[in-house]
Structure 1
Amino acid sequence: MQFCDECGSMMKADGDRMVCTNEACAASSERDSDLEDQFVTTESQSDDDVIESTEDANFEGKPKSTDVVCDECGTQEAWYTLKQTASADEPPTRFFKCTECGHRWREYN
C-alpha cells in the first residue's frame, strides 16, 4: 500500500501513475516498476469475503442457523453473516435472513 506524500491518503494505481484517492489533493507520481511485486492491486483482489448487509443482498448459500426464530413467520432457520460493527473488543453483529419468508434482522451479542 502506498500513501500520498502530500496529504497521507491512500494512493491507487492508474495506468503508469499512482494517484491520490483524496479528490481535494489530486497528487500523483510515477509508478515504480521495481516495487510492483510488493503491492497488491484491487484488480487481483476478490469479493469472496465481502459481507452483504444491504436490503438486496443474496444470503442464499451462506451458513444457516437453527437457533433463531423469525419474528414474521416463526421459522427456526435463517442464513446469517457476521460483521464487526463496533470496536474490536466487542463481539460481531450477526445479520439474519429467514430461509422461508426472507425477513431480515440483526442480533447483537
Structure 2
Amino acid sequence: MEFCPKCGKVLIPHNRILKCSLCGYTKKLNDEDSKDYILSHDVSDKRKVIISGDKVNAMPTTRGLCYRCGNRQLEWWMVQMHRSDEAETRFYRCTKCGNTWRRSN
C-alpha cells in the first residue's frame, strides 16, 4: 500500500498507475510492480492488497454530536498545533456527513 506524498490519501491502482482520488497525484508503475498491486475487498492474498470501499475506517471513533447533521458517531485525532508545553488540538469528523471541526483544550 502506498500513500500520496501530497495529501496522504491511499493511492488506488488502475491500469499500471497509482492515483490519488483526492488531489489527483499519479505514479506510473512498471510492468513488474503492477503485478504486485491489486484492488480487492479480500486481505487473504499475499500481494500488496489495497482495500477498496468507502466503509474502511482506520480512525478512532467516539460518541458526540455533529452540529450539521445530528449524527452521534465522530472520528477524532489530535495534533500539536502550538509549542510542546501547550495542549494539543482535537479534531472531530462526522462519520455520516464528513463535517470536520476542532476543539482546543
Q: Output the TM-score relative to the length of structure 1.
A: 0.43
Q: Comparing both structures, which one devotes a greater share of its residues to strand? A: 2
Pick the structure with more helix per residue: 1
Q: Which entry has the higher C-alpha Rg, 1 or 2?
A: 1
